[in-house]
Amino acid sequence: MMQTELIVLANEKIADQTIEMQLGLNSDNLGTEVQKFVPGQFLHVKVGEADTTMLRRPISIADVDGNGNITIIFKISGRGTDMLSKQTAGSRIDALLPCGTGYPVDNLNLDTALLIGGGIGVPPLYYLGKTLAARGTRIISILGFQKADHVFYKEKFAELGESIIVTDDGSYGEKGFVTDCLKEMDIDFDCFFSCGPTPMLQAVTNKLTGRHGYISVEQRMGCGIGACYACVVPAKSGTGFKKICKDGPVFAANEVSL
């Protein structure tokens, strides 16, 4: 892990309150490092100074390209993400990266992967889907959003394989929650991967109990590197715990109690 300054290359609104930001490295030497980033890992971004925004913001890596440029997608939901959204091309952003343990893509040999994402949980699944697809895995994705103008990356996921979009109010795609789709469809898959708000992860893991799968868990963070114990989640076995920022954010579906 390292602390470095990333250069904002592009900043584009891709849905309601949703920003796609391209970040470049300030040194060519780091290019090879970035190629090692694992889907599911995140950046811990400094969005201001200690007198305004003391805590860094965790934002998932949504994509990495061959030049070592990193894409993040985030929703403006408070002061920090609002400040981040105002960074224009050329600005520099201090980030710790890559943080956390991602999806174990190197150890998975899958015929079919099911990606289940909700809202701002969708971005890391894109990098995951792209990585798995490149290895010949068939990708099926179910992506949930609140309503039509919140939907993003529908074409990009369609390029990876079959993709179903659901919205809470039915204003785009199917109406309902991602779990409603799981109920209705008899999808054949080897492994599922889910990222989204905790209630969604609870519903997904309940529905898919016993199936091989991985979830990405969110929690308010302090250090983002495993030193402050802010971001823990109880382990399912016994009394232990896991640190989301270091042991996660990705866990096997039966590893932690949500």
Partner 1 sequence: MISLETKLPGLDLKNPIMPASGCFGFGREFSELYDLNKLGAVVIKAATLNPRYGNQTPRVAETAAGMLNSIGLQNPGVETICSEELPFLSQFKTPVIANVAGSTIEEYVAVAKRLDESGLIQALELNISCPNVKEGGVQFGKDPVLAAEVTAQVKETVALPVYVKLSPNTADIVQMAKAVEAGGADGLSMINTLTGMQIDLSSKKPLLANQTGGLSGPAIKPVAIRMVYEVRQHSGLPIIGMGGISAAEDVLEFLIAGASAVAVGTANIHDPFACVNIIDRLPQLLEKYGFQNVEEAIGGGNRNEANVSRS
Ligand X SMILES: Cc1cc2nc3c(=O)[nH]c(=O)nc-3n(C[C@H](O)[C@H](O)[C@H](O)COP(=O)(O)OP(=O)(O)OC[C@H]3O[C@@H](n4cnc5c(N)ncnc54)[C@H](O)[C@@H]3O)c2cc1C
Ligand Y SMILES: Cc1cc2nc3c(=O)[nH]c(=O)nc-3n(C[C@H](O)[C@H](O)[C@H](O)COP(=O)(O)O)c2cc1C
**Helical (H) or strand (E) element with 163:** strand 161-167
Q: Which does 59 bind (CB under 5 to 8 A by kind): ligand X, partner 1, ligand Y, none?
A: ligand X
Q: Is 223 in the site for ligand FES (CB under 6 A)?
A: yes
46 binds, among ligand FES, ligand X, partner 1, none (CB under 5 to 8 A by kind): partner 1
User: How many helices (H) does the chain have, and how many strands (E)?
Assistant: 6, 16
Please, which residues bridge with residue 99 across strands? Answer: 42
* 228 is an interface residue for ligand Y by CB under 6 A: yes
Residue closer to partner 1 by CB (options 132, 233) is 233
117 vs 224, beta carbon nearer ligand FES: 224
Contact between 245 and 100 under an 8 Å Cβ cutoff? The reply is yes
Q: What's the chain's Rg over C-alpha atoms?
A: 17
Number of residues that bind ligand X (CB under 6 A): 21
11: tokens are 């900043």
Question: What would the x/- binding string for partner 1 be over residues 47 to 66, using CB under 8 A?
Answer: ---xxxxxxx----------
The annotation status of 81 as a binding-site residue, yes or no, is: yes
Of 243, 248, 249, 258, which lies in the binding site for ligand FES, with binding defined by CB under 6 A?
Answer: 243
Q: What is the C-alpha separation between 108 and 100, in angstroms, rounded?
A: 19
Among the listed residues 27, 52, 77, 198, the single contact to ligand X using CB under 6 A: 77
Q: Which residue has the tokens 């490149």?
A: 134
Cβ pair 226, 207 in contact under 8 A: no
Q: How many chain residues touch partner 1 (CB under 8 A)?
A: 31
Q: Which among ligand X, partner 1, ligand Y, none contacts residue 226 (Cβ within 5 to 8 A by kind)?
A: partner 1
- Which residue in the set 31, 48, 161, 222 belongs to the binding site for ligand Y (CB under 6 A)? 222
3-state SS record for 124-135: HHHHHHHHHHHC
Residue with tokens 């039509």: 148
Using alpha carbons only, what angle is made at residue 147 by residues 143 and 148, rounded to the nearest 5 degrees? 85
234 binds, among ligand FES, partner 1, ligand Y, none (CB under 5 to 8 A by kind): partner 1
Shortest separation between residue 2's beta carbon and ligand Y, angstroms: 23
Stretch 2-21: interaction string toward partner 1, x if CB under 8 A: xx------------------
User: Is 215:253 a contact under the CB 8 Å cutoff?
Assistant: yes
104 labeled part of a ligand binding site: no
Among positions 79, 86, 92, 147, the unique one binding ligand X when judged by CB under 6 A: 79
User: Does 252 engage in binding with ligand Y (CB under 6 A)?
Assistant: no
CA distances from 130 to 12, 41, 143, 156, 183 (A): 21, 15, 15, 9, 26
Q: What distance in Å separates the CA atoms of residue 112 and residue 187, rounded to the nearest whole number?
A: 10
Binding site for ligand FES (CB under 6 A): 221-224, 226-231, 243, 245
Residues belonging to the binding site for FAD are 57-60, 80-81
